[in-house]
Amino acid sequence: MTRPCIFFDLGQTLINEWGFIDYFDQRFFEILNGFGARISFRNYRTIRDNVIRSRKIGHGSVRELIIEVCKLICQQGYEKIIVKRLEPELKEARRNFFCLFSDAEQTLSSLLILYDLGIIANQSTDILKILEDSKIERFFKVILLSSEVKIRKPDLEIFRLAMNLAKTGPENCIMVGDRLDTDISPANKLGMKTIRTTNSLFKLQEPMNEFEKPTYMVANLSEIANILEKSNR
């Protein structure tokens, strides 16, 4: 009998990015004011949150966030200069601040008893070092990164490719992720069950259609096993 499969996102799902986000906010805020923005940190956070909530960064990440915030509070053209200034620092900050959530390893270990596990993530290959250093790569049957396959979520093809590699179908799969647009919606469209994690900056997102409504929601990874156990009774 085929074991059910749980696919995980990485950033802000298995990987704790709060330290990175704090660093990014402080540096971006400093640079914005250096370019004449003259805003308070509280106002900066409000603008940043509104950009995320309103989906102005589309399916992108930090680079797009920088550009969209700059468009709102800087002179035209400054966004390119600020991106160029910040990107090398943020690459180093990823190495310094990214780490697993404290309950990630125990959660994966307990789920592996009943489920095959996989990863579907919009990430560059440098993220693999965290998986290797933490020794959690051993839990996963499939690890699929957008940078390797040249397909990004929410493209349904990256989900189909992951399922093909896992030799399973959507009716047998669960997707766990923090973003409604790139994790929950495409998985729901394919017929997977979905679990939204809310310990993330993207908890600001609100469902825009039926596909963006997760099957389950959890505040922490450690809640997943209990929810799935109850659902299988």
Whether 59 and 181 have beta carbons less than 8 Å apart is answered as yes
Same domain, 67 and 129: no
- Counts for the chain of helices (H) and strands (E), in that order: 10, 8
Question: Residue holding tokens 């990015």?
Answer: 17
At position 233, the amino acid (one-letter code) is: R
Distance CA 218, CA 223 (A): 6
Tell me: do 93 and 155 sit in the same domain.
no
Q: What is the CA radius of gyration of the chain?
A: 18
pLDDT of 1 higher than 70: no
Cβ atoms of 216 and 195 within 8 Å: the answer is yes
d(CA 18, CA 12): 8
Same domain, 81 and 135: no
Determine what percent of the chain is predicted with pLDDT higher than 90: 91
The two tokens of residue 45 are: 């956070």
- Tens-digit pLDDT profile for residues 109-139: 999 999 999 999 999 999 999 999 999 999 9
pLDDT digits (tens, 9 = 90+) for 148-207: 999 999 999 999 999 999 999 999 999 999 999 999 999 999 999 999 999 999 999 999
- CATH (domain of 133): 3.40.50.1000
Same domain, 91 and 107: no
The residue among 75, 97, 119 that closes a domain is 97
Residue 112 structural domain: 5-16+99-231
The domain boundary, picked from 97, 122, 152, lies at: 97
Q: Give the whole-angstrom CA distance, residue 93 versus residue 11.
A: 14
